[in-house]
């Protein structure tokens, strides 16, 4: 390396007689040396934990400063800024932000399995940072006392601080395996560490087993430590990576949220998330789910709600759209969102000042060796203290036996030095014993004090013998270490929180893993299978799971009066025909599904049609129809006696459309989707007239047509029912008479059931024949229906009402109804 010296010009005046030297250094050598010094500093003094106490230097200095300040768990909290200032000024000459961040992490229960700092105030969450150090307070947690216990008993070496004015411990005594229990994370230069937390009881069990069986293999230790135990629970899927990490120090595993599928409303299912993966916050999951839904990469989710609070804990509700498989949606959530995360284990820690990658057995062995050394040094320290005390007690006993002579000797001495020398010569005492006797208080010179001293001497001799026995027997020393660990596990241990799963075996398994396991991947959406859509008299709508023929047997149930049925597919659409002559599209996929049943289907599990369609108060749904444009189409009858057959040329791009042009004041009273076009159309009027004729007599019209005359009405009469029946089937006519001013379902009235064959067929637009004779108090038919037997009736709330026996007298009067009837079908 060349050097060149340049002297200043002596001719010019120089106020500072300084010799300037410029040293030329090779840039590559300088960069290599500087980088190596920086890397070593980061590795050893900043980023990597010590394998013995599991702490980084900043964490160790924080705990030691709190120990020195006396911030014990039974004392008041102090401002975090005070602790940060103490650490920064005495031991850690770095930024206050770095110190406070390390302190916050040690206080967060969702980060550490056994927090070392007891925080008071806002120490942040998985989604938000903590408050400033001037607002928060802290003190040592009970676990921190275990880390600093016996620190004053020469258990560890002390080293100078950064300015060599103070000393600090190079490592804390660590009464429990902190590195395994709380884990660690850090990024150094050219290396990093990432260790998950574990359960205290399990780790101590493995350490004790290793103490008792030094040759124990990994399988034996994993019987105690089967896997990590994360602070907030969750699930770990796949144990192969954990075993690899325990064996080599490197591996990975998947952490999965804990979720269950339940009904969030009467007709909607949802996924309730109660635990999330390690260090994953709810806001992160919500943001990712919303992003995927907006980009259409995730389907089947209608809403996501965060119901987390202090009493219930984490509760994230993800509502599933009707028609989507909740298990399949959960599988997609695990695959696409942070609800399932991979955790890479990299067990890098400092051993004798050098970074090493350690497996489970090596980590436990390093701790056991360190803890054994701590207990040995503590025992030696206590033995020395006991011997020193015994030495003083023995000197006191000698002085008390000749107390008068001792007093006379001290009084006759000119000064303390002479008194000390005479005591040593006369009573054969050591200098320490002589000094202690000279400092003795007169009140100790009693007979009772002698008894106390003799008892103390005997106790000290027994304690010294015990301590010497421990130091002389390595197995006894290890037994002390093991017993202390066992006691600590009882006092501070908690049950396991994380569930370990050998494999996914269900939602969340990747496609490759699913096929490898011989399982069929779940379909995200409901298959487009054939089904039935049902409409009840109370306005409930639902769909079945199969296209089997609907049963008609079984006991009658609430809401089992089905007024309309239509065969379709689960992902298809049906039309809802209203009294205003409109057809509204209804998605079958959104409808609730009825469970399979061998009895007559019940719509008690259905949903109100008004939840899907917005109908005006004066408009009601009459029936359901298909929208495939096939078949003879719809037949409609109006209040003013108009009939119309509609060509099924329904528009495919409109959510609603008209199927009849109504006159002012007219409404549709009945609509039927024809099956063959050869059915009989049946009108029943308010003045008890019934007319039926073949549908072939009505020419189909377009959707804008107004229909043709269907029944001839008497003055003041209206049509109350319009249906279509199969002329070859067994049909009945049900009529309910009452007061014209009373709405159906408000009074009992009289009801009559008649065979359909009793009514002769007549031409279109004629007056028909009488079907019900009114008695006193009755002036009109309020309800009527014609259709296939058996007929059924229901009250306004859907409860079944029994009908009388079927008769063949078409113009007879009815029998009193047992309850108000609101619907027939």
Instruction: Label residue 550 by pLDDT band (50, 70, 90).
Output: low
The per-residue pLDDT for range 751-795, each reduced to its tens digit, is: 999 999 889 999 999 988 999 998 888 888 989 999 888 888 888
pLDDT at residue number 3: 45
Domain membership of residue 644 (yes or no) is no
Domain membership of residue 266 (yes or no) is no
* Domain identity same for 164 and 86: yes
* Number of separate domains in the chain: 3
User: With helix as H, strand as E and coil as C, how does 216-254 read?
Assistant: CCHHHHHCCCCCCCCCCCCEEECCHHHHHHHHHCEEEEE
* Domain identity same for 398 and 476: yes
pLDDT at residue number 5: 46
- The 3-state DSSP class for residue 140 equals strand
What residues are paired with 351 via a beta bridge?
354
Find out whether 659 and 578 touch, Cβ atoms under 8 Å. no
pLDDT at residue number 516: 37
Taking the C-alpha atoms of residue 246 and residue 227, their distance in angstroms, rounded to an integer, is 9
The per-residue pLDDT for range 703-715, each reduced to its tens digit, is: 889 999 999 999 9
Task: State the burial class of residue 42 (Cβ atoms within 10 Å of its Cβ: 0-12, 13-18, 19+).
Answer: middle
Q: Which domain holds residue 409?
A: 372-492
Residues 268-288 have a mean pLDDT of 91
* Domain identity same for 603 and 463: no
* Domain identity same for 476 and 543: no
Domain membership of residue 729 (yes or no) is no
In this structure, of 32-46, 202-216, 544-558, 571-585, the range with the lowest mean pLDDT score is: 544-558
Residue 106 tokens, joined: 């040690």
Find out whether 148 and 141 touch, Cβ atoms under 8 Å. no
Task: State the burial class of residue 136 (Cβ atoms within 10 Å of its Cβ: 0-12, 13-18, 19+).
Answer: buried
User: What are the distances in angstroms from CA 810 to CA 7, 552, 690, 724, 749?
Assistant: 137, 27, 10, 19, 18
Instruction: Label residue 515 by pLDDT band (50, 70, 90).
Output: very low
Which of 166, 199, 232 is the last residue before a domain boundary? 199
* Domain identity same for 47 and 182: yes
Residues 571-589 have a mean pLDDT of 89
Domain membership of residue 812 (yes or no) is no
* Domain identity same for 468 and 596: no
Taking the C-alpha atoms of residue 160 and residue 168, their distance in angstroms, rounded to an integer, is 6
Could you tell me how far CA 551 lies from the centroid of its own chain? 42
pLDDT at residue number 628: 85
* Domain identity same for 67 and 185: yes
% of the chain exceeding 70 in pLDDT:
90
Instruction: Label residue 36 by pLDDT band (50, 70, 90).
Output: low
Of residues 100, 135, 278, 759, which has the active-site annotation? Answer: 135
The per-residue pLDDT for range 689-700, each reduced to its tens digit, is: 999 999 999 999
pLDDT at residue number 507: 42
- The alpha helices in 47-95, defined as continuous H runs, are 57-69, 80-90
Domain membership of residue 709 (yes or no) is no
In this structure, of 192-196, 222-226, 274-278, 448-452, the range with the lowest mean pLDDT score is: 448-452
pLDDT at residue 429 is higher than 60: yes
Residues 439-455 have a mean pLDDT of 74
Domain membership of residue 94 (yes or no) is yes
Q: Position of tokens 């102090």?
A: 78
Least Cα distance to 518 among 531, 505, 535 occurs for 505
pLDDT at residue number 44: 62
Residue 399 backbone phi and psi in degrees, to 5: -70, -40
CATH number at residue 145: 3.90.199.10
Which of 199, 221, 242 is the last residue before a domain boundary? 199
Instruction: Label residue 422 by pLDDT band (50, 70, 90).
Output: confident
pLDDT at residue 506 is higher than 50: no
pLDDT at residue number 557: 53
Q: Per the omega criterion (within 30 degrees of 0), is the bond before 624 cis?
A: no
Measure CA of the first residue to CA of the last residue in the chain; give whole Å. 108
- Rounded to 10 deg, the angle between the 200-212 and 474-492 helix axes is 170
* Domain identity same for 533 and 472: no
Sheet strands (E) in 224-339 = 235-237, 250-256, 258-263, 269-275, 301-306, 316-320
Taking the C-alpha atoms of residue 419 and residue 400, their distance in angstroms, rounded to an integer, is 16
* Domain identity same for 446 and 378: yes
CATH number at residue 392: 1.10.268.10
Which residues are CB-neighbours of 71 under 8 A, at least 6 positions away? 77, 78, 83, 138, 139, 140
Instruction: Label residue 96 by pLDDT band (50, 70, 90).
Output: very high
pLDDT at residue number 513: 40
Domain membership of residue 763 (yes or no) is no
User: What are the distances in angstroms from CA 21 to CA 4, 5, 7, 18, 819?
Assistant: 7, 5, 8, 10, 116
Least Cα distance to 806 among 814, 797, 798 occurs for 814
pLDDT at residue 34 is higher than 90: no
Taking the C-alpha atoms of residue 48 and residue 58, their distance in angstroms, rounded to an integer, is 11
Taking the C-alpha atoms of residue 735 and residue 744, their distance in angstroms, rounded to an integer, is 12
The enclosing H or E element of 103 equals helix 96-107
Stronger pLDDT, 74 or 600, i.e. the higher one: 74
Instruction: Label residue 58 by pLDDT band (50, 70, 90).
Output: very high
pLDDT at residue 504 is higher than 90: no
pLDDT at residue number 62: 96
Instruction: Label residue 512 by pLDDT band (50, 70, 90).
Output: very low
Residues 275-290 have a mean pLDDT of 92
Residue 728 tokens, joined: 């070859």
* Domain identity same for 122 and 193: yes
Instruction: Label residue 527 by pLDDT band (50, 70, 90).
Output: confident
Which residues are CB-neighbours of 442 under 8 A, at least 6 positions away? none
Instruction: Label residue 450 by pLDDT band (50, 70, 90).
Output: confident
Domain membership of residue 637 (yes or no) is no
The per-residue pLDDT for range 135-185, each reduced to its tens digit, is: 999 999 999 999 999 999 999 999 999 999 999 999 999 999 999 999 998
Mean confidence (pLDDT) of the chain: 86
pLDDT at residue 518 is higher than 50: no
In this structure, of 278-292, 431-445, 619-633, the range with the lowest mean pLDDT score is: 431-445
Least Cα distance to 146 among 208, 204, 86, 229 occurs for 204
What residues are paired with 670 via a beta bridge?
637
Q: Is 650 one of the annotated active-site residues of the chain?
A: no
Which of 492, 517, 540 is the last residue before a domain boundary? 492
* Domain identity same for 466 and 557: no
Residue 798 tokens, joined: 């859907």
Find out whether 535 and 624 touch, Cβ atoms under 8 Å. yes
pLDDT at residue number 67: 96
Taking the C-alpha atoms of residue 372 and residue 476, their distance in angstroms, rounded to an integer, is 11
* Domain identity same for 444 and 535: no
| Helices and strands, counts by H and E, the chain | 18, 43
In this structure, of 153-162, 233-242, 390-399, 598-607, the range with the lowest mean pLDDT score is: 598-607
Taking the C-alpha atoms of residue 770 and residue 177, their distance in angstroms, rounded to an integer, is 96
Q: Position of tokens 């009467």?
A: 266
pLDDT at residue 548 is higher than 50: yes
pLDDT at residue number 427: 83
In this structure, of 287-291, 557-561, 744-748, 785-789, the range with the lowest mean pLDDT score is: 557-561
């Amino acid at each position: 390396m060349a050097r060149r010296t340049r002297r200043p010009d002596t001719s010019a005046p120089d106020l500072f007689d300084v010799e300037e030297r410029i040293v030329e250094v090779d840039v590559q050598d300088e960069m290599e040396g500087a980088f190596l010094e920086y890397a070593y500093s980061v590795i050893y003094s900043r980023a990597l934990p010590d394998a013995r106490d599991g702490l980084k230097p900043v964490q160790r200095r924080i705990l030691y400063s709190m120990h020195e300040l006396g911030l014990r768990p039974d004392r008041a909290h102090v401002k975090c800024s005070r602790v940060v200032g103490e650490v920064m000024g005495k031991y850690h000459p770095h930024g206050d932000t770095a110190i406070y961040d390390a302190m916050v992490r040690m206080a967060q229960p969702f980060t550490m399995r056994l927090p070392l700092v007891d925080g008071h105030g806002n120490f942040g969450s998985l989604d938000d940072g903590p408050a400033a150090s001037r607002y928060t307070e802290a003190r040592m947690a009970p676990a921190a006392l275990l880390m600093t216990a016996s620190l004053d008993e020469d258990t560890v070496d002390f080293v100078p601080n950064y300015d060599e004015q103070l000393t600090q411990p190079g490592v804390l005594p660590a009464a429990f395996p902190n590195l395994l229990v709380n884990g660690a994370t850090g990024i150094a230069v050219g290396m990093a560490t990432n260790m998950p937390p574990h359960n205290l009881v399990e780790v101590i069990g493995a350490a004790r087993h290793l103490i008792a069986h030094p040759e124990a293999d990994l399988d034996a230790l994993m019987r105690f430590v089967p896997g990590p135990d994360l602070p907030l629970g969750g699930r770990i899927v796949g144990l192969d990576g954990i075993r690899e990490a325990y064996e080599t120090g490197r591996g990975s595993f998947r952490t999965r949220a804990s979720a269950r599928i339940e009904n969030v409303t009467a007709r909607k299912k949802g996924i309730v998330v109660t635990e999330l993966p390690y260090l994953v916050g709810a806001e992160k999951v919500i943001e990712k789910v919303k992003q995927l839904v907006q980009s259409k990469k995730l389907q089947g989710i209608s809403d996501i709600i965060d119901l987390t609070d202090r009493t219930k804990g984490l509760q994230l509700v993800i509502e599933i759209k009707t028609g989507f498989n909740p298990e399949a949606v959960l599988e997609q959530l695990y695959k696409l969102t942070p609800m399932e995360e991979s955790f890479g284990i990299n067990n890098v820690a400092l051993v004798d000042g050098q970074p090493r990658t350690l497996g489970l057995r090596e980590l436990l062995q390093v701790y056991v060796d360190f803890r054994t050394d701590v207990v040995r040094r503590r025992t030696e320290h206590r033995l020395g203290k006991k011997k020193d005390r015994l030495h003083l007690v023995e000197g006191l006993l000698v002085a008390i036996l000749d107390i008068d002579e001792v007093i006379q000797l001290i009084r006759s001495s000119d000064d303390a030095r002479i008194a000390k020398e005479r005591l040593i010569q006369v009573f054969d005492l050591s200098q320490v014993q002589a000094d202690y006797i000279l400092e003795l208080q007169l009140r100790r010179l009693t007979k009772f004090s002698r008894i106390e001293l003799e008892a103390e001497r005997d106790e000290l001799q027994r304690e010294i013998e015990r301590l010497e026995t421990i130091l002389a027997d390595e197995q006894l020393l290890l037994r002390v270490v093991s017993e202390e660990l066992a006691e600590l596990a009882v006092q501070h241990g908690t049950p396991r929180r994380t569930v370990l799963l050998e494999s996914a075996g269900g939602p969340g398994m990747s496609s490759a893993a699913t096929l490898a396991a011989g399982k069929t991947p779940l379909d995200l959406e409901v298959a487009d299978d054939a089904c039935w859509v049902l409409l009840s008299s109370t306005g409930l709508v639902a769909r079945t799971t199969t296209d089997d023929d609907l049963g008609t047997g079984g006991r009658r149930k609430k809401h089992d009066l089905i007024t309309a049925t239509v065969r379709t597919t689960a992902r298809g659409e049906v039309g809802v025909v209203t009294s205003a002559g409109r057809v509204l599209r209804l998605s079958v996929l959104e409808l609730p599904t009825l469970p399979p049943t061998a009895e007559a289907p019940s719509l008690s599990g259905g949903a109100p049609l008004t939840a899907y369609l917005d109908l005006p108060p004066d408009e009601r749904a009459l029936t359901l129809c298909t929208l495939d444009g096939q078949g003879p189409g719809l037949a409609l009858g109006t209040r003013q006696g108009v009939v119309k057959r509609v060509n099924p040329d329904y528009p495919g791009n409109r959510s609603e459309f008209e199927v009849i042009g109504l006159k002012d004041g007219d409404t549709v009273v009945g609509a039927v989707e024809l099956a063959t076009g050869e059915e009989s159309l049946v009108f029943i009027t308010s003045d008890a007239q019934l007319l039926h004729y073949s549908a072939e007599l009505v020419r189909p019209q377009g959707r804008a047509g107004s229909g043709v005359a269907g029944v001839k009405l008497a003055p003041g009469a209206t049509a109350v029912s319009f249906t279509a029946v199969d002329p070859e089937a067994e049909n009945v006519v049900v009529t309910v008479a009452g007061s014209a001013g009373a709405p159906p379902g408000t009074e009992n009235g009289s009801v009559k059931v008649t065979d359909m064959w009793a009514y002769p067929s007549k031409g279109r637009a004629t007056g028909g024949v009488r079907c019900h004779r009114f008695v006193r108090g009755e002036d009109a038919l309020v309800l009527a229906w014609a259709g296939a037997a058996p007929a059924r009736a229901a009250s306004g709330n859907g409860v079944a009402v029994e009908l009388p026996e079927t008769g063949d007298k078409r113009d007879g009067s009815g029998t009193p109804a047992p309850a108000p009837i609101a619907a027939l079908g």
